[in-house]
Amino acid sequence: MMEASDASGLYPVAKGDPFLSKSPVVPRQIPAAERLVDIETARLWCWDTGGGAAEPVVLLHAIVGSGAMWLHQQPVLAAAGYRVIGYSRRGHFGSDAGDPDDPGTGAGDLAALLDRLDIPSAHIVGTAGGGFVAADFAIAFPDRVRSLTLSTSLVAVRDRDYMAATMAMRDHAFESLPREFREVGPGYRATNPEGLAAWLALTAEGRPIAIAQHFLSALDLPALGGLRVPTLVIASDADMYAPPPVMRRIALAIPGARLGLIAGAGHSAYWEQPQAFNAMILDFLASI
C-alpha cells in the first residue's frame, strides 16, 4: 500500500514488482442501479451503488472511455462503505450528446446530476480528461466538494507557459499513435493482454461524439491556488501525457495538496494498477 505525501516532499513509490500479480480483468461488481438522469439539456447515463447515509464518491472518466470504465474501483470503494457513483459525460457511452449549439459545461452538468440525485456534496475523483471537469467543478462549486482527487491529468490548465511546456512533450506524431500506446503504459501492455483487451473493448464502446464544452472557471494555476478543499494528486511513472513533474506542478499550485506516485502505470493508472490506485484513494479519504 502506498501513502500520499505532501506536495513538497518526495514521491512515495510502490514497493516490490508491480507486475508480480494481476488484477482480475473484470472483478465482481456490487449491485448498482443504472439510470438515465435528465439534466434538462441532456440525459446522462449513470450508475449508483446507493447506501443511504454513506458518503458519496463520484468518479469522472477520461476522454477515452466512459462511466463504465470504473470496474476496478466500484466494488472496492463500495465495500469500504462509500456510495459510489459513475456517469458518462455528454456524448460518451449511454449519454446524450445534447444540443451542439448549447453544449453547456462539464462542471454545470455534474452539479445538475448531483441535484437530481439529491447529493449536496461529494468526494470527486477525476482521471485524465475527467480531471478537467473535476478541477473546474471544485473551483466553481467548492461547497459541494468534500475532497478532490486529480489523477494523471493535465487539468486543462491554461497558463501560457504551462501549456507550452506540456504541448512540447507531444509532437504531432504522438496523437496519431493507437490509443493504447498513448493511454496505457508499456509494462501493462506487455504483461496483461487480457486486461488490455478489456480496456480496448470498453474504450471502443465509450468513444465519444465530440462535444466542445466550456469551463466555468479560469482553470489556471492561480485559480487552483484558490482551492481550499482536501486534494490528492496522483502521478504515474510511465504516463506520457502528464508525467510526474507535470503532476507535481499541479500539486504545488493547490494549497495543502498531497502527491503520490504509482509505479508501473501509464496514463490509465486506475485500470493498470488498481490496487495501488484504490489504496491511495482510500488512505486519503480515511485521513480527511
Mean pLDDT by 10 residues, the chain (288 residues): 50 49 75 96 96 94 96 97 97 92 95 98 98 98 98 88 72 83 95 95 85 91 97 96 93 97 96 96 96
Report DSSP state, residue 265: -
CB 137, CB 72: distance < 8 Å: no
The position carrying cell 483487451 is: 197
What's the one-letter identity of residue 56? P
pTM for this predicted structure? 0.92
CB 11, CB 235: distance < 8 Å: yes
Burial class (CB within 10 angstroms; exposed 0-12, middle 13-18, buried 19+) of 55: middle
Task: Give the phi and the psi of residue 43 in degrees, each rounded to 5.
Answer: -115, 130
Q: 5-11+24-287 maps to which CATH number?
A: 3.40.50.1820
